[in-house]
């Protein structure tokens, strides 16, 4: 059965996900919050090349309201620095039972969206993906180059009892690639982009700043690869202290980019050789920093402090990039700021990661 899927966003992942949905027999609709990114679709079909070859004309929404009202499910597919604004715009129009999928989920955004829905008395399952179903880059006009369709994508749903139903929906829409994980903390810790992009951007910041065209995979040299592996050890230590299962960086590269497991640098060299190593950012104003530092590294740093497994390299990364960019990246996270996590304990957070609702555990009666 064909489903109508509304995609919030009209960038690389939104276009690539629309192509995957189209290929799977579904009917995507794209919404560009400013309207700018869908204008080209008035004159040309969306053309996908690479891992997906398709040419089709997706429906286009002119507002959040239209996107929510005219679709069975909603996929949030834009950088995390746009999530709060997009959740605020969509929440008044989401209806009971409508499936919301966040790809990639960041900074406990599902808790923020759930709060908005609860305030309206609406119950809608929110599914958080640890990453995206496809990777790629938008090109000129209405084109997208899909670099890879992932073999595995971690997911969880809040509230937890809706998990089986949400898994069935995701599988029907995007394919049999999903690995259920235990709650939002596991999903947060299964997004490897922030730590990987920290090492990649730090090792290549002059290339980015000078606007060079450079191969990302090839420039994960042995020393950059070693940094990525050390960052991964910090993330895994936090996950282990919370008894959460999450994939290693070795599994991540192997499963996402179809290379045999080896050192991180060796796998990236192999990706470069087979043509799916990607191109690094050609600007310092890249989401590798402006999204991943405040919305990714910052959450890992918070979880490290809460669990007593301080993520020293992640914290150093936030400080180094804040100094380079003259910004306080730790303070920029609109989602964590809105959740006011300081008032909650680790146990409160663990509960919320499964229920979707952040509540203070009542003090035991004395
Ligand atoms: N591309 C990839 O291969 C991968 C991407 N990801 C993740 O997927 C997500 C989407 O990435 P990608 O599609 O590449 O990103 P893009 O930069 O291509 O996304 C552009 C879209 O985001 C919207 N947007 C940007 N800023 C805001 C804002 N402040 N408020 C509202 N909307 C905004 C734009 O809106 P407008 O249309 O109005 O301009 C546009 O529709 C990110 O979280 C990224 O980290 C993860 C792994 C791989
Ligand atoms: C290029 C890739 C797939 C790996 O860093 C990516 O994750 C991104 O573009 O965000």
Q: What is the pLDDT of residues 200-220, one digit of tens each?
A: 999 999 999 999 999 999 999
Q: Where are the alpha helices (DSSP H) in 79-175?
A: 83-90, 109-120, 163-174
Residue to substitute in 16, 197, 249 for testing ligand 2 pocket (most ligand atoms within 8 angstroms of CB): 197
Q: What is the number of the ligand closest to the CA of 130?
A: 1
C-alpha 170/C-alpha 355 separation (Å) is: 19
CATH number of 4-181: 3.40.50.720
What is the average pLDDT score of the chain?
Answer: 97
Q: What is the mean pLDDT of residues 6-30?
A: 98
Q: Is 78 left (phi over 0), alpha (psi -120 to 50) or beta?
A: beta
Q: What is the mean pLDDT of residues 167-180?
A: 98
Residue 52 has pLDDT above 70, yes or no: yes
Percent residues over pLDDT 70 in the chain: 100
What pLDDT is stored for residue 97 in this prediction?
98
Residue 1 has pLDDT above 90, yes or no: no
Pick the closest to residue 146 from 46, 213, 41 (CA basis): 46
Q: What is the pLDDT of residues 317-350, one digit of tens each?
A: 999 999 999 999 999 999 999 999 988 999 999 9
* Alpha carbon of 188 to ligand 1 centroid (Å): 18
What pLDDT is stored for residue 366 in this prediction?
67
* All CATH 3.40.50.720 domain ranges in the chain, comma separated: 4-181
At residue 39 the predicted structure's pLDDT band, cuts being 50, 70 and 90, is very high
Residue 362 has pLDDT above 80, yes or no: no
**Contact in structure between 150 and 133 (CB atoms under 8 Å):** yes
Residue nearest atom 3 in ligand 2 by C-alpha distance: 135
**Contact in structure between 191 and 235 (CB atoms under 8 Å):** no
Q: How far apart are the first and last CA of the chain?
A: 57
At residue 191 the predicted structure's pLDDT band, cuts being 50, 70 and 90, is very high
Question: Of the CATH numbers 3.40.50.2300, 1.10.1040.10, 3.20.20.70, 3.40.50.620, which one belongs to the domain with range 193-332?
Answer: 1.10.1040.10
């Amino acid at each position: 059965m064909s489903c109508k899927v509304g995609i919030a966003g009209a960038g690389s992942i939104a276009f690539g996900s629309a192509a995957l949905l189209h290929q799977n027999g579904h009917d995507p609709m794209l919404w560009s919050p400013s309207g700018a990114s869908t204008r080209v679709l008035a004159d040309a079909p969306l053309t996908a090349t690479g891992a997906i070859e398709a040419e089709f004309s997706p429906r286009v929404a002119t507002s959040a309201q239209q996107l929510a009202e005219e679709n069975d499910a909603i996929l949030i597919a834009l950088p995390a620095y746009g999530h709060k604004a997009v959740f605020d715009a969509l929440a008044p129009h989401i209806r009971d039972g409508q499936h919301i999928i966040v790809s990639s989920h960041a900074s406990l955004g599902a808790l923020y969206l759930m709060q908005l829905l609860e305030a309206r008395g609406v119950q809608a399952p929110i599914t958080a993906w640890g990453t995206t179903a496809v990777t790629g880059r938008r090109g000129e006009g209405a084109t997208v180059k899909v670099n890879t369709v992932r073999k595995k994508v971690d997911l969880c749903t809040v509230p937890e009892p809706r998990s089986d139903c949400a898994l069935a929906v995701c599988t029907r829409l995007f394919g049999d690639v999903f690995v259920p994980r235990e709650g939002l903390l596991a999903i947060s810790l299964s997004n490897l982009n922030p730590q990987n992009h920290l090492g990649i951007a730090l090792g290549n910041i002059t290339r980015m700043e000078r606007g060079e065209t450079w191969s990302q995979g090839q420039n994960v040299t042995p020393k950059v690869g070693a940094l990525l592996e050390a960052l991964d050890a910090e993330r895994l230590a936090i996950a282990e202290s919370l008894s959460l299962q999450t994939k290693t960086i070795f599994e991540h590269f192997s499963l996402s980019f179809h290379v045999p497991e080896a050192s991180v640098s060796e796998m990236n060299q192999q990706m470069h050789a087979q043509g799916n190593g990607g191109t690094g950012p050609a600007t310092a104003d890249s989401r590798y920093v402006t999204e991943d530092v405040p919305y990714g590294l910052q959450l890992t740093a918070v979880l490290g402090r809460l669990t007593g497994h301080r993520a020293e390299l992640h914290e150093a990364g936030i400080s180094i990039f804040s100094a380079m960019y003259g910004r306080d990246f730790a303070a920029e996270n609109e989602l964590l700021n809105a959740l006011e996590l300081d008032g909650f304990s680790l146990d409160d957070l663990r509960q919320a990661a499964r229920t979707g609702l952040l509540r203070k555990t009542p003090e035991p009666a004395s």
